[in-house]
Amino acid sequence: MTDYLERNREAWTKANEEYTDARAGEAWAAEEITWGMFGPSDSELGVLGDLAGKDVIELGCGTAYFGAWLAKRGARVTGIDLTPAQLETARRMSAETGIEMELIEANAEDVPLPDESFDLALSEYGASIWCDPYKWIPEAARLLRPGGELVFLCNSPLAVICSPDTPDGKVGERRARPLVGMHRMDWEGEDEGTDFHLPHGEMLRLLRDTGFDVEGLWEIQATEGAETHRYYDFISVEWARQWPAEEIWKARKRA
Ligand SMILES: C[S@@+](CC[C@H](N)C(=O)[O-])C[C@H]1O[C@@H](n2cnc3c(N)ncnc32)[C@H](O)[C@@H]1O
C-alpha cells in the first residue's frame, strides 16, 4: 500500500468517530443536491442534469450522502471507499432509508470493476482530493463508457496556496506556498492526512491526455446567506465571498 492510503484511512476513521457518522442522517435526508462548504444547489449551477437510469460510480463515497441524493433521482449508484468505518455508516443509512446502492471497499485509484461500466463518475471531496490525480483520473476514464461524464468537486488552487502550515491551517489572505509544483501535500496537526491538488493548466492537460473533453469549470463562491461551515471551518465565509474557495470540474470521455 502506498503510504498516503494508510494515513488517509486512519484520518477518515477518526473523522467518522468525530463527526461524519453523526451528521450522516441529516445529510442523507437533504432534499436538494448542494455543492461544497457554501452550498449552491445543483439546480442553480446546472452541473448534473438528468440522472434517471444512469449508472453512477462515486469515487471516495464516504458516508454516501451524495450518492443517496443521486439514487433518489433515479441513478443506480456504486460507491467506492477506502475506509471501512465510512462504509459502515453508509450501509447503515442505506438500510435505514431504503435507498439502495452498491458499496465496495477499495482504493479509487485501482477499482475492482470492469472497464466501461458507468455513465457518470463522480467525486465530491473523495478521490478528487485524496487520490493522486495521475492515478484516479485515468482510472475514472477506464470505468466510464465512451461519452460518459466525469464530475468532481475539490478545493480551488487559490485556497490551497493561501493555506498556511500553522496548526489550525486557516486559509488567509496571503500566499503561503507556491503554485508551481503543487501536487501532493502532507498535512500535520488537526487536518492530518495527505491530499492532492493541481494548478488549472496541469489539470486541463491531464484531463485532455486521459481522453476527456472539459465541458465546465465552476468556481464556487459563498452563496447569499451562507455561513462558515460547521465542520470545515478552515475557510471562512468572508474569504469565500471574495475568492472562489472550491471548484467543480465537468469533463466528457471522448467517444
Ligand atoms: C469527504 S469524504 C467524501 C464524502 C462523500 N461525498 C459523501 O457523500 O459522504 C472523503 C472520503 O474519501 C475516502 N478516501 C480517501 N482516500 C481514498 C482512496 N484512495 N480511495 C477511496 N476512497 C478514499 C475517505 O475514506 C473518505 O470517506
Residue 1 is predicted with a pLDDT of: 56
Q: Dump pLDDT digits (tens) for 61-108.
A: 999 999 999 999 999 999 999 999 999 999 999 999 999 999 999 999
Nearest CA to ligand 1 atom 3: 62
Residue 151 is predicted with a pLDDT of: 99
Q: What is the pTM of this model?
A: 0.97
Residue 228 is predicted with a pLDDT of: 86
Distance (Å, rounded) from C-alpha 20 to C-alpha 64?
Answer: 10
Interhelix angle 200-209/133-143, rounded to 10 degrees, is: 40
Q: For the chain, which ranges sit under pLDDT 50?
A: none
In the predicted model, what is the mean pLDDT of the chain?
95
Residue 191 is predicted with a pLDDT of: 67
Residue 188 is predicted with a pLDDT of: 82
**Whose CA is closest to 247, among 122, 141, 157, 137?**
157
Half-sphere exposure of 211 (CA within 13 A, CB side): 16
Q: 2 C-alpha to center of ligand 1: Å? A: 16
Q: 6 C-alpha to center of ligand 1: Å? A: 13
Best of 66, 82, 97, 186 for a ligand 1 pocket test (most atoms within 8 Å of beta carbon): 82
